[in-house]
Chain A
Amino acid sequence: MAEQRRPVIRADAIGLSVALLLTILVGAALLMLFAQAGTAEAGALLGSAYVWRILRFTLIQACISTLLSVVFGVLVARAFARETSFPGRRALLGLMSLPIVLPSLVAVFGIIAIYGQNGWLARMLALAGVNAKPDIYGLGGVVLAHVFFNLPLAVRLLLPGWHSIPVESWRLSAQLGMSGWAIFRLIEWPMLRRYLPHAAATIFMLCVGSFAIVLALGGGPSAATFEVAVFEAIRFEFDPPKAAVLALGGLTLNIICLALAQGAIGDAAIGSGWRTREQDWGRRPLPARVMDGVLIGVAALLLAGPVAATVTDGVKGLSESALDWGLVARATLTSIGLALPAALLTMLLALPMVLAAARTGKKGRAAILRGALILPIAVSPMALGLGCFLILRLVLDGTPRAIFGIVLLNAIMVVPFAAAILRPAVERARARHDHLCRALGIAGWARWRLIDWPILRPSIGTALAMAAAMALGDLIGIGLFGDAKIRNLTLLLYDQLGAYRTGGAAVTAALLMLLIFVLYQVIERGVGGRAAP
């Protein structure tokens, strides 16, 4: 017995070590900010009317955005789970992975192109003779942008939930002649209780940390998030400790909300059936199918509008401006060259933790592991980035520091997303095969190769693809480490926009989007194999 258990414990230990390392790194990053000169009167700062006003707006917009994204996300994911074979399904799901990884400026301009004062919608209204313009500047615009970003993310995070429901459950429901509501209550809701908290928390934290979008579409200074204050403290007040206090404030807020989400929705045992695919939905009544079609159609429209506008602008920009293609090619290579190592590092961090979290029998350990997995998006990206810079400058210098720092920062920040994708698959693998593996004495590398890898492969492919795509759009790392030789596509885009070159910037934005899309697909299918969703 002892012989067979050891590898399990070892997997635990590796995961825990990674979790501690990550937690220490994030903690050290914040401590480094405190160690700088500044005026951190935490009490006075967190008690100020300004901070409370920011906090209020942050909470309001994040709650509305999260609620809409998640509710709509559940409906759309459900529709996707049922309509398994309509033409373009795969492409649409591929598109769903785009918004979350788009640089915020690209998304803002895409959204403006559709819903802005001079956007497609306004022009269509004018053509129809309606004397009204859509006014998206304000809370509405902020929420719209966040739903654009996060609805697809919610779908991507929730859809595997439906795939995890065992065929036996569906069969039973059919035999018992369950109504739609009964199916939701007895089969789907228990599954959602497992998937929703993480998805909702991830989306909420992204909305809390959102920054440039909130300012651009917010319509005025009252629309600002915590992150604006962090930025101001770092950039214009040169007060890292103040930034750290604010970041800790944001972290506390995030932790409270995470706990609330977990408490409200809870957690359910995972289903342990064998086969999960090939559910036949063919004999569903027409109204239900029409409803599915409408939901998928609306989501597709919401998504495709800004994407199409970005592509159109890019094509237009191509004819308007002469572009230095050598420059674009170099920037593209730099983007890819930084994104792939970052994605691999993300995987090296996330996978051991997720495996350990699924296998550990101890509640405390599981809590530590889950906490570490979500930590990187709970902390202000600006504060985390600056803290990492301060740590790295103790040991590295020049270009190596910049490369290592950018890769590390991106890898860390994507860990929560990779974890969200990996966790359900890992838990499923554990629930189905743990007993068998123990009984047969399959453990360690053999177990990984024979049992876990084939099951986890699709999820690993997706997680790796998302990590790479997110790192592809990096700006924080590049901007922070500031090596003039390392210039990726995102930076090129900002440089073009910062120098009146809107035509060129439109081309770069479209290219960046294309690159993100292609890289995502290649990695997801290449690594994930044919079973990729």
Chain B
Amino acid sequence: MTQETFQDEALTLTLREEEDAVTVSWSGRSTNREPSHFIVPVLSRAMDWGRTKNKLVVLDFRDMAYMNSSTITPIIRLLGRARRNPDAVRVIYRKELKWQELSFSALEVFQTSDQRIEIRGV
């Protein structure tokens, strides 16, 4: 298992390669003016690993306390791109937190019937 941690102010991204998945765990708060500069390279790397090693990419938001809309947009773009390509992505969130339920359940619009793109509240 390989693991790398990236931090930008109050946001921490942990990129972990496991046997059957590449996981990006998000924790903290993301409030930067242009968070894409920090987020996109990590997400691109996760997607590249997932594609080349034929693994599911998991985005785990359960430990996020807050994210501004500029943080949500690169996630939406990633899901849009994954939908157009043969990538497999699972988004995990805490459904008992109302803000996470509202924010992430809306992403079900990108879900595919074969669950290649899956939005999962736990």
On whether the two chains bind one another, the answer is no
